[in-house]
């Protein structure tokens, strides 16, 4: 999460792809990197608009923030690792650009800019004002550990006792809401009417809809499976012990720790998440997310909302 925003000079995608091109309708795009600078160019064959990329949002899939005539825009074209190239930014598929400016990107309204940087950076919004000059890129310690700078000093000296105890004491439900500030809470998803595959990226919502979820049981909290200080572990078998904390392994009698009512699997003994937490593709885009609504997946069954 520390890399949720990057400057062009530090972005490995630009280093690996110094020249990326794309064409949609009458417009041709070029994203070109020379040294520390990356330029985003769109042309209709007659006129050309060329702007420096100010920030990249996202580590895998990337959308770029451009500045044009004093306003911020998000790029109409994004990079997707799944196709190792450019395509229209997710959510913008229905935009039919009529001018070069519209083909370049979408102007961010003030509230929107605050929201983007509020989730992807630290100290970007102070007293409800956008403070891009003083923000730190990415989700840093301070964002989750309020007053973390003082604690960090202690931590550097090997003194961890002063870590704000608040986070450790939160219930499973409260952790979901804490992470949900950015990953979206159950309520936010309902209020936003995010229906269908689009909501698979909102883990607190999906997890709460799973039969495994119990807001008072720490074995199903985000922190049971993830360490927010590290990259996500992409190895199915490493999650088995988490499931077996509640589900009895089929060969053994239920352990004392197994939760009442959590049956064993009649099918397999390992790699639980490979079948019960399937990857779901987002519509239109080239991004897949892991469904946190842990369940028996039946072939041909529609996506459960
Ligand atoms: C301040 C906003 C914020 C909060 C709070 C937050 N996250 Fe994130 N998280 C992000 C952003 C932004 C990304 C995406 C980074 C990217 O891929 O560009 C992310 C990515 C992740 C990833 C994927 C990392 C990877 O290696 O691909 C995991 C796992 C994760 N967050 C878990 C958590 C958990 C667990 C919590 C609660 C303890 C939490 N997050 C709280 C903003 C936040
Ligand atoms: C409520 C917090 C929040 C807001 C507001 C937000 N993001 Fe994100 N964004 C996230 C999180 C969390 C992720 C990590 C992926 C995930 O789990 O959905 C993410 C992922 C991304 C990615 C990586 C590709 C992808 O879609 O997963 C891009 C690009 C991105 N955001 C751009 C933006 C832009 C541009 C804005 C403003 C228009 C914005 N985000 C607003 C929280 C937020
Ligand atoms: C996305 C939110 C998030 C970010 C960013 C974050 N932390 Fe944490 N941190 C947590 C949570 C949640 C806990 C409680 C974890 C637990 O109890 O397992 C925690 C616990 C800790 C602990 C106590 C560990 C323990 O075992 O009790 C230390 C020390 C710590 N964080 C330091 C840092 C430092 C230093 C950074 C920046 C490099 C940082 N954190 C960034 C969420 C975050
Ligand atoms: C029972 C275990 C478990 C719990 C609980 C859990 N996750 Fe995950 N999470 C996973 C697995 C498995 C993956 C996929 C890892 C992989 O790709 O191999 C994942 C992936 C992610 C990712 C990366 C994006 C993606 O979809 O692949 C994010 C972000 C994330 N989880 C956030 C959360 C948040 C926030 C919570 C709490 C609401 C949470 N997770 C609770 C198991 C869990
Ligand atoms: C906190 C304890 C707990 C954890 C951790 C947990 N589960 Fe469950 N799970 C349950 C309980 C209890 C039920 C039964 C709920 C019911 O039938 O009402 C259940 C139900 C299920 C079901 C049947 C769901 C359905 O739709 O019928 C599957 C499949 C499942 N769990 C798989 C998993 C996998 C895979 C993991 C690890 C990624 C996991 N569970 C982690 C407690 C847990
Ligand atoms: C190869 C895919 C696969 C793997 C791997 C797998 N399961 Fe299953 N699981 C299934 C299928 C299919 C069913 C539904 C069986 C049925 O209804 O006849 C099921 C059913 C279940 C149920 C519901 C049982 C009931 O009585 O309602 C639970 C709980 C469960 N699995 C947990 C797990 C756990 C925990 C693991 C890892 C130790 C795991 N599964 C590994 C495919 C798998």
Decide: 219 in ligand 5 pocket, CB within 6 A.
Answer: yes
Is the four-CA dihedral 210, 241, 238, 269 of positive or negative sign? negative
How large is the average pLDDT for residues 212-222?
A: 96
Residue 159 is predicted with a pLDDT of: 46
- Whether 203 has a pLDDT exceeding 90, the answer reads yes
Mean pLDDT (the chain, rounded): 89
pLDDT (0 to 100) of residue 132:
86
Q: Which of 4, 142, 163 to mutate to test the pocket of ligand 3 (most atoms within 8 A of CB)?
A: 163
Residue 159 or 286, more confident? 286
State the distance from the centre of ligand 4 to the C-alpha of 225, rounded, in angstroms: 7
Rounded to an integer, the average pLDDT of 292-297 is 97
Nearest-5° angle of CA 256, CA 258, CA 262?
145
The response to whether residue 151 sits with its C-beta less than 6 Å from ligand 3 reads no
Other beta carbons within 10 angstroms of residue 118's beta carbon come to 18
Q: Is 273 in the pocket of ligand 5 (CB under 6 A)?
A: yes
The ligand placed nearest to the CA atom of residue 1 is 1
Distance CA 141, CA 62 (A): 23
**What is the C-alpha to C-alpha distance for residues 37 and 57, in angstroms, rounded to an integer?**
16
Mean pLDDT is lowest, of 29-43, 180-194, 256-270, for: 256-270
Token match 């039969």: residue? 211
**What integer pLDDT is reported at residue 160 of this predicted model?**
46
Would the pLDDT of 285 be above 90? Answer: no
pLDDT (mean) for 255-264: 70
**Distance from the alpha carbon of residue 223 to the mean position of ligand 4, in angstroms:** 10
> Which ligand 4 atom sits closest to the C-alpha of 289?
26
Which range among 38-42, 116-120, 126-130, 150-154 shows the weakest confidence by mean pLDDT? 150-154
**263 pLDDT above the threshold of 80:** yes
Residue 141 Cβ contacting ligand 3 at under 6 Å: yes
CA 262 to chain centre: 30
d(CA 53, CA 110): 19
Separation of alpha carbons 287 and 262, rounded Å? 32
* Higher local confidence (pLDDT), 285 or 176: 176
Residue with more model confidence, 150 or 97: 97
Does 166 have pLDDT greater than 80?
no
Residue 147: what pLDDT? 59
For residue 194, pLDDT beyond 80:
yes
Q: Is the CB of 19 under 6 A from ligand 5?
A: no
Q: What pLDDT shows up at residue 129? A: 85
Q: Inform me whether the pLDDT recorded for 156 exceeds 50.
A: no
Residue 255 confidence (pLDDT) above 90: no
Q: Is the CB of 182 under 6 A from ligand 1?
A: yes
The better pLDDT of the pair 60, 46 is held by 46
Q: Which ligand is the nearest neighbour of the Cα of 267?
A: 6
pLDDT at 252: 54
**Counting ligands in written order, which one lies closest to the CA of residue 160?**
3
pLDDT tier at 259, thresholds 50, 70, 90: low
Q: How far is the CA of 40 from the centre of ligand 2 (A)?
A: 20
Nearest ligand, measured from the Cα of 281: 4
Q: How far is ligand 3, taken at its centre, from the CA of residue 228, in Å? A: 7
Residue 201 has pLDDT above 90, yes or no: yes
Instruction: Please give the share of the chain, as a percent, with pLDDT higher than 70.
Output: 90
Q: Whose CA is nearest to atom 42 of ligand 5?
A: 212
Taking the CA atoms of residue 3, residue 215, residue 194 and residue 231 in that order, the dihedral angle to the nearest 10 degrees is 20
């Amino acid at each position: 999460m520390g890399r949720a925003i990057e400057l062009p000079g530090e972005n490995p995608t630009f280093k690996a792809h110094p020249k990326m091109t794309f064409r949609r309708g009458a417009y041709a795009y070029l994203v070109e990197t020379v040294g520390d600078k990356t330029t985003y160019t769109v042309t209709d064959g007659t006129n050309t608009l060329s702007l420096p990329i100010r920030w990249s949002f996202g580590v895998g899939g990337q959308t770029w923030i451009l500045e044009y005539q004093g306003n911020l825009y998000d790029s109409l074209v994004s990079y997707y690792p799944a196709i190792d190239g450019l395509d229209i930014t997710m959510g913008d598929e229905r935009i039919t650009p009529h001018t070069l400016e519209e083909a370049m990107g979408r102007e961010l309204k003030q509230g929107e800019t605050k929201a983007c940087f509020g989730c992807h950076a630290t100290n970007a919004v102070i007293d409800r004002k956008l403070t891009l000059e003083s923000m730190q890129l990415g989700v840093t310690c301070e964002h989750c550990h309020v007053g973390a700078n003082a604690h960090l000093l202690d931590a550097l000296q090997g003194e961890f006792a002063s870590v704000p105890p608040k986070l450790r004491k939160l219930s499973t439900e409260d952790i979901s809401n804490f992470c949900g500030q950015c990953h979206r809470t159950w309520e936010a998803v309902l209020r936003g009417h995010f229906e269908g595959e689009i909501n698979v990226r909102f883990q607190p919502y999906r997890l709460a809809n799973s039969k495994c979820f119990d807001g008072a049981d720490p074995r199903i909290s985000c922190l049971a499976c993830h360490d927010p200080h590290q990259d996500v572990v992409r190895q199915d078998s490493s999650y088995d012990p988490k499931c077996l904390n509640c589900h009895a392994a089929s060969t053994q009698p239920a352990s004392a720790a197994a939760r009442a009512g959590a049956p064993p699997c009649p099918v397999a003994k390992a790699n639980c998440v490979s079948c019960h937490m399937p990857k779901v593709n987002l519509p239109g885009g080239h991004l897949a997310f892991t469904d946190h609504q842990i369940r028996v997946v039946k072939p041909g069954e529609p996506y459960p909302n």
